[in-house]
């Protein structure tokens, strides 16, 4: 039985076979897993609390622990399918669904469902002016996009500040107020991207680190990144 303390203070225990080296040499994580050479393979690392830390993504099942579940990337479709098999609500955002499943796996009460924002059925139609009142809950539609492109130029997009403006609108804001909000938020520092938009956040960081990189290269890097557990992801790989 060998002990290894990681830089973060986690103690790992390794069970080795006969003939295995008496010590673990420094090297990459892959070197650590493969250090035994001939004989029975080294077992996965075991934390001091006795929990095995998997180096490959496990199947999503009711026997999976909540902590292990949180280590891995899951598609929303995977979470929804699992929720339905366990008779858990599959509604809401990916982030809400993940929290619900984590609570289920931990055996703790499920988070209270978030009531969807009530919205008006009224939808804006052209022609629009700066005096047009925006109905509460109005989506960032193509009609609105065309209005803003005409007013602000082809570079307009519904970024986080603009989405927040429409989400907070109580039905009294006008398009003039929306334009004022757009101008007031142009010099703001880049905002953190919500965890449910993890690909968007990765894409922004990757392109910032690789200005000449292509989208195909970014997607390949993203697939390699998301295949790793959270505690093994290295920001430099972005």
Whole-Å CA distances, 170 to 22, 104, 129, 153, 164: 68, 35, 19, 27, 12
Residues whose CB falls within 8 Å of the CB of residue 224, separated by 6 or more in sequence, listed in order: 237
Report long-range pairs for 155-162 (Cβ below 8 Å, ≥24 apart).
Answer: 156/182, 160/191, 160/193, 161/185, 161/188, 161/191
Specify whether 101 is located in the same domain as 121.
Answer: no
Specify whether 156 is located in the same domain as 136.
Answer: yes
Specify whether 123 is located in the same domain as 180.
Answer: yes
Strand spans (E) along the chain: 2-5, 11-14, 46-47
Establish if 20 belongs to a structural domain. Answer: yes
Specify whether 133 is located in the same domain as 185.
Answer: yes
Specify whether 125 is located in the same domain as 85.
Answer: no
Establish if 122 belongs to a structural domain. Answer: yes
The answer to whether 89 touches 83, Cβ cutoff 8 Å, is yes
Cα 170 from Cα 110, distance rounded (Å): 30
Which range marks the domain in which residue 11 is found?
A: 1-53
The answer to whether 130 touches 179, Cβ cutoff 8 Å, is yes
Establish if 60 belongs to a structural domain. Answer: no
Establish if 59 belongs to a structural domain. Answer: no
Q: Which of 105, 106, 173, 99 is nearest to 133 (CA)?
A: 173
The model carries a pTM of 0.47
CA atoms within 13 A on the CB side of 162: 18
Is residue 127 reached through a cis peptide bond, with omega within 30 degrees of 0 on the bond before it? yes
What string of pLDDT tens digits covers the 238 residues of the chain?
Answer: 444 444 444 444 444 444 443 333 333 333 333 333 333 333 444 444 445 556 789 999 999 999 999 999 998 899 999 999 999 998 888 888 999 999 999 999 998 776 655 555 788 999 999 999 999 989 999 999 999 999 999 989 998 889 989 988 888 999 999 999 999 888 766 656 555 567 777 888 888 899 889 989 999 998 888 888 888 876 445 5
Specify whether 2 is located in the same domain as 45.
Answer: yes
Q: What strands, in cross-sheet order, belong to the sheet with 2-5? A: 2-5, 11-14, 46-47
Establish if 112 belongs to a structural domain. Answer: no
Rounded to 5°, angle at Cα 190 from 187 and 192 = 145
Specify whether 32 is located in the same domain as 2.
Answer: yes
Specify whether 202 is located in the same domain as 170.
Answer: no
Please give the structure tokens belonging to residue 106.
């931990």
Classify 62 in phi/psi space as left (phi over 0), alpha (psi -120 to 50) or beta.
alpha
Establish if 61 belongs to a structural domain. Answer: no
**How many domains does the structure of the chain reveal?**
4
Instruction: Give me the pLDDT at residue 144, please.
Output: 95
Cα 80 from Cα 78, distance rounded (Å): 5
Establish if 153 belongs to a structural domain. Answer: yes
Q: Which of 94, 108, 109 is nearest to 65 (CA)?
A: 108
């Amino acid at each position: 039985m060998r002990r290894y303390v990681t830089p973060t203070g986690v103690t790992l225990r390794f069970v080795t076979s006969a003939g295995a080296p008496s010590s673990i040499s420094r090297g990459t994580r892959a070197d650590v897993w493969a250090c035994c050479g001939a004989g029975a393979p080294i077992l996965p690392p075991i934390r001091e609390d006795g929990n095995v830390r998997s180096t490959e993504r496990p199947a999503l099942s009711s026997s999976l622990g909540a902590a292990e579940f949180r280590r891995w990337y899951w598609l929303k479709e995977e979470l929804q399918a699992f929720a339905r098999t366990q008779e858990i609500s599959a509604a809401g955002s990916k982030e809400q669904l993940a929290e619900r499943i984590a609570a289920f796996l931990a055996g703790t009460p499920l988070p209270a469902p978030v009531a969807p924002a009530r919205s008006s059925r009224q939808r804006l139609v052209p022609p629009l002016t700066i005096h047009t009142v925006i109905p509460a809950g109005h989506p960032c539609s193509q009609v609105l996009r065309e209005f803003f492109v005409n007013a602000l130029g082809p570079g307009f997009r519904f970024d986080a500040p603009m989405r927040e403006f429409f989400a907070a609108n109580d039905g009294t804001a006008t398009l003039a107020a929306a334009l004022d909000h757009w101008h007031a938020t142009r010099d703001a520092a880049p905002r953190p991207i919500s965890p449910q938009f993890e690909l968007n956040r990765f894409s922004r960081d990757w392109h910032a680190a690789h200005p000449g990189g292509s989208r195909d290269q970014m997607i390949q890097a993203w697939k390699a990144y998301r295949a790793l557990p959270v505690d093994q992801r290295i920001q430099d790989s972005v």
